[in-house]
Structure 1
Amino acid sequence: MLASANRITHGGDYRATVRRGSKHVGPNTVTYIRASDSSSDARFGFIVAKTVGVAVVRNRVRRRMKAACYELLPHVRPGVDVVVRALPGAASQPYRVLFDELSRSLTKGSVLA
């Protein structure tokens, strides 16, 4: 589970990252990356809309994405905000596929150390 210091919790931070961050599109996710205050920890936020599925499916997708980000966290530069939006296809994907896709997006965004 991500620590509270590693989570985006305010709507304004979500909006700023989505609007001003770089966008990396994959088959199952859209990843927005924005450099923020360099003294802070890397932070992650997740958007899983109702188009992904019913509540049980959305929560499963969100948990898989959180677990993938937790595993990648030690390699992410500090001071980066990342918002991951799940697309409807993410509901049918196993954890490893989502992990690989997030890893590729973070590599393209050059935030992995």
Structure 2
Amino acid sequence: MNLPESVGNRIRELRKAKGWTQEQLAEAATLHYSYIGGVERGDRNISLETLEKIIAAFDVPAIEFFRFEDETQRRKALDEHMALLSSKSAEEIAALTRVVREVIAAIGLDMDDN
């Protein structure tokens, strides 16, 4: 994957995590929504000034923005967890969430890192 595609995917990922539409992101970054679509697809060559507007709209540190992961591997792991949890009750999911938080704390992972 090339850099424009990676940047576009990261913008899409952060936008969806905020629950925003392309229009909402465009408004927050003072850009046109069709431009956001082109950037997310990797079709547009984004300037540093425009990227700065988008990062500011997300209100995340630039270093966090550039934290690219192997999304395929991450998605596969998340899908596996979702499949395991899908047949569980709300109470069971809450109990499992507490256990996961305790395990993460015990092994020293900072929840803010994820």
TM range (shorter): under 0.3
Name the TM-score, length of structure 1 as normaliser.
0.25
Structure of higher RCO (CA pairs closer than 8 Å, 6+ residues apart): 1
* Structure (1 or 2) with the greater helix fraction: 2
Structure in which a larger fraction of residues adopt strand: 1
